[in-house]
Amino acid sequence: MAALDGLPPLRDVIQRHGLDARKALGQNFLLDLNLTQKVARTAGSLDGVTVFEVGPGPGGLTRAILALGAAKVIAVERDARCLPALAEIADHYPGRLDVIEGDALKTDFAALAPQGPVKIIANLPYNVGTQLLVNWLLPAQWPPFWQSLTLMFQKEVGQRIVAQEDDNHYGRLGVLCGWRTQAQMAFDISPQAFTPPPKVTSSVVHLTPKENPIPCAVEKLEIVTQAAFGQRRKMLRQSLKPIGGEALLLRADIDPQRRAETLSVEEFCRLANCL
| Residue 30 binding ligand SAM, by CB under 6 A | yes
Report which DSSP code applies to 218.
H
Residue from 54, 74, 89, 163 binding ligand SAM (CB under 6 A) = 54
Query: 19, 7, 2: which is closest to 84 by C-alpha?
Result: 19
Chain centre to alpha carbon of residue 244: 33
Tell me if residue 215 falls in helix, strand or coil: coil
| For ligand SAM, the closer CB: 125 or 158 | 125
Give the β-pairing of 194-195 and 29-30. antiparallel
Q: Give the residue nearest to ligand SAM (CB).
A: 55
Q: How far is the CB of 231 from ligand SAM (least distance, A)?
A: 32
Per the CB < 8 A criterion, the answer to whether 98 and 83 are in contact is no
- Concatenating the DSSP letter of every residue in 84-132 gives HHHHHHHHHSTTSEEEEES-GGG--HHHH--SS-EEEEEE--HHHHHHH
| For ligand SAM, the closer CB: 178 or 198 | 198
| For ligand SAM, the closer CB: 146 or 268 | 146
Residue from 77, 151, 175, 183 binding ligand SAM (CB under 6 A) = 77
Please list the residues that pair with 75 across neighbouring strands. Answer: 53, 99
How far apart (Å, rounded) are the C-alpha atoms in residues 207 and 179?
12
Q: How far is the CB of 28 from ligand SAM (least distance, A)?
A: 5
| Residue 28 binding ligand SAM, by CB under 6 A | yes
Binding mask 92-111 for ligand SAM (x = CB under 6 A): -----------xxx------
Q: How far is the CB of 140 from ligand SAM (least distance, A)?
A: 24
Give the footprint of ligand SAM on this chain (CB under 6 A): 25-30, 54-57, 60-61, 76-79, 82, 103-105, 123, 125, 128
